[in-house]
């Protein structure tokens, strides 16, 4: 297969590039490096041993994107590109809606013009909103998101569902990610948040390295066994494989399907801290802080649909996730930046 990866230099996109290339497929990256580094491209070249086809193009730029489609014959597109910071989206809703929706619509227009009709979309468990009915199944209702970022995922899902309804030859897979963490085992690529990390694992790794003083645990009075929030953490390499399986599925099916990509198992914040400390032999100082607005007590997937229809399931353990995240942090104390 020849696959276009929009946002292919990002955290999940770069791991998916490796998975596709190592499985013998051709992957082409389009990224405007707004939230990612050019250094990713040379790291990908080191891992795969091949030149990386990439274009420094904004997906909102119809003309530039069309030129990429003219140069390659894509079997499918995996659409990762988009603004992704939950907290930032609350203060910048116009930018989030403009960028995430515009890029998707532009991509769909170019795909239609160039006769490419298979798309895998990078969605999120956040579209399930504030329910506490667990595990989450694809048949449950979505909506009630708590921030503009989540609403853009919800709206893009709806756009793609409508496109598939209107065009019976289209094939769409909406992948709802749970909490991707970890890194490629080479330690060459990983998560590189800009500024203070919002998410738990990059915060833990930066505390363990001494870059940050201590972790704030947002609430220990949730109705969970140890009182801290429970999430379904998934290794990014397992998640990347899910994209290959989704592309293979779309080669044989039309219409629109939604898939949860999670492990089905939830761990608390304290489980994460203690496992990280144990497997890496480090300490992660923390203190208990107030709950974070918009957080729910528990969130974990029913991943059985992906296993049944895609033949996909997560294999890597929480220990693997913690070891690989720490290797990435230790080898790259400043992420992709050289200083
Ligand atoms: N969390 C925390 N301290 C942090 C970041 C996150 O205690 O600095 C908690 C958060 O309240 C949640 C879990 O860790 O229970 C996962 O949070 P994250 O932001 O990584 O993912 P999300 O909440 O989007 O699932």
Gap between the Cα atoms of 264 and 304, Å rounded: 9
Q: How would residue 339 be classed by pLDDT, with cut points 50, 70 and 90?
A: low
> Which atom of ligand 1 is closest in space to residue 222's alpha carbon?
15
Gap between the Cα atoms of 321 and 339, Å rounded: 26
Q: How would residue 132 be classed by pLDDT, with cut points 50, 70 and 90?
A: confident
Ligand 1 centroid – CA 184 distance (Å): 22
Mean pLDDT of 84-105: 96
Ligand 1 centroid – CA 200 distance (Å): 5
Gap between the Cα atoms of 110 and 167, Å rounded: 15
Residue to probe by mutation, ligand 1, list 200, 203, 234, 321, most atoms within 8 Å of CB: 200
Q: Which residues are catalytic?
A: 149
What is residue 36's predicted lDDT score, i.e. its pLDDT? 95
Burial label for 278, CB within 10 Å (0-12, 13-18, 19+), is exposed
Matching residue, tokens 């040379």: 42
| Closest C-alpha residue for ligand 1 atom 23 | 295
Matching residue, tokens 């001494």: 210
Q: Ligand 1: does its nearest atom lie under 6 Å from the Cβ of 295?
A: yes
Residue 135: asked if its preceding bond is cis (omega within 30°), the reply is yes
Q: Ligand 1: does its nearest atom lie under 6 Å from the Cβ of 267?
A: no
Strand residue runs (E) in the chain = 2-6, 26-31, 54-56, 76-79, 118-124, 171-177, 179-181, 215-218, 230-231, 233-235, 255-261, 267-268, 286-289, 298-299
Residue 328's Cβ-side half-sphere holds a number of Cα atoms within 13 Å equal to 27
Q: Work out the end-to-end distance of the chain between its first and last CA atoms, rounded to an integer number of angstroms.
A: 38
Instruction: Among 101-105, 156-160, 290-294, name the one with the lowest average pLDDT.
Output: 290-294
| Closest C-alpha residue for ligand 1 atom 14 | 200
Gap between the Cα atoms of 204 and 206, Å rounded: 5
Ligand 1 centroid – CA 296 distance (Å): 10
The fraction of the chain above a pLDDT of 90, given in percent, is 97
pTM of the full structure: 0.98
Give the contacts of 307 (CB within 8 A, at least 6 positions apart).
313
| Closest C-alpha residue for ligand 1 atom 6 | 200
Residue 89 has pLDDT above 60, yes or no: yes
Q: Ligand 1: does its nearest atom lie under 6 Å from the Cβ of 303?
A: no
Q: Ligand 1: does its nearest atom lie under 6 Å from the Cβ of 203?
A: yes
Ligand 1 centroid – CA 226 distance (Å): 15
Q: How far is CA 312 from the centre of its chain?
A: 16
Q: Ligand 1: does its nearest atom lie under 6 Å from the Cβ of 224?
A: no
Crossing angle (nearest 10°) for helices 236-250 and 11-22: 60
Q: Are 326 and 282 in contact (CB under 8 A)?
A: yes
Ligand 1 centroid – CA 237 distance (Å): 21
Tens of pLDDT along 205-234?
A: 999 999 999 999 999 999 999 999 999 999
What is residue 69's predicted lDDT score, i.e. its pLDDT? 98
| Closest C-alpha residue for ligand 1 atom 18 | 199
Mean pLDDT of 165-187: 98
What is residue 303's predicted lDDT score, i.e. its pLDDT? 98
Alpha-carbon dihedral 227, 228, 229, 235, rounded to 10 degrees? -130
What is residue 227's predicted lDDT score, i.e. its pLDDT? 98
Question: Mean pLDDT of all residues in the chain?
Answer: 97
């Amino acid at each position: 297969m020849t696959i276009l990866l929009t946002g292919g230099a990002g955290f999940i996109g770069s791991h998916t590039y490796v998975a596709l290339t190592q499985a013998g497929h051709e992957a082409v990256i389009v990224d405007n490096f707004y939230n990612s580094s050019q250094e990713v491209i040379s790291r990908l070249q080191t891992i795969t041993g091949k030149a990386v086809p990439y274009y420094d193009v904004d997906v909102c730029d119809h003309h530039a994107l069309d030129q990429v489609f003219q140069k390659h014959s894509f079997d499918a597109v995996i659409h990762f590109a988009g603004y992704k910071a939950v907290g930032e989206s609350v203060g910048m809703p116009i930018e989030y809606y403009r960028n995430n929706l515009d890029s998707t619509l532009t991509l769909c227009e170019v795909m239609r013009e160039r006769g490419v009709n298979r798309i895998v979309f990078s969605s999120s468990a956040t579209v399930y909103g504030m329910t506490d009915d667990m595990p989450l199944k694809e048949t449950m209702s979505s909506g009630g998101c708590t921030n503009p970022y989540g609403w853009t995922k919800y709206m893009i899902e709806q756009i793609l569902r409508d496109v598939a309804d209107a065009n019976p030859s289209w094939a769409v897979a909406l992948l709802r990610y749970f909490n991707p963490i970890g890194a490629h085992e080479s330690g060459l690529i990983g998560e590189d948040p800009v500024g203070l990390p919002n998410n738990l694992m990059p915060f833990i790794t930066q505390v363990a390295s001494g870059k940050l003083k201590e972790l704030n645990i947002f609430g220990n009075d949730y109705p969970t066994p140890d009182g801290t929030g429970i999430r379904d953490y998934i290794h990014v390499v397992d998640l990347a494989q899910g994209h290959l399986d989704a592309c293979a599925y779309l080669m044989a099916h039309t219409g629109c399907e939604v898939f949860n990509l999670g492990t089905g198992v939830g761990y608390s914040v304290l489980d994460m801290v203690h496992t990280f400390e144990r497997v890496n032999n480090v300490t992660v100082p923390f203190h208990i802080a107030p709950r974070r607005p918009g957080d729910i007590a528990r969130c974990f997937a029913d991943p059985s649909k992906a296993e049944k229809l895609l033949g996909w399931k997560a294999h890597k353990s929480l220990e693997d996730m913690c070891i690989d995240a720490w290797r990435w942090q230790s080898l790259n104390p400043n992420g992709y930046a050289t200083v």
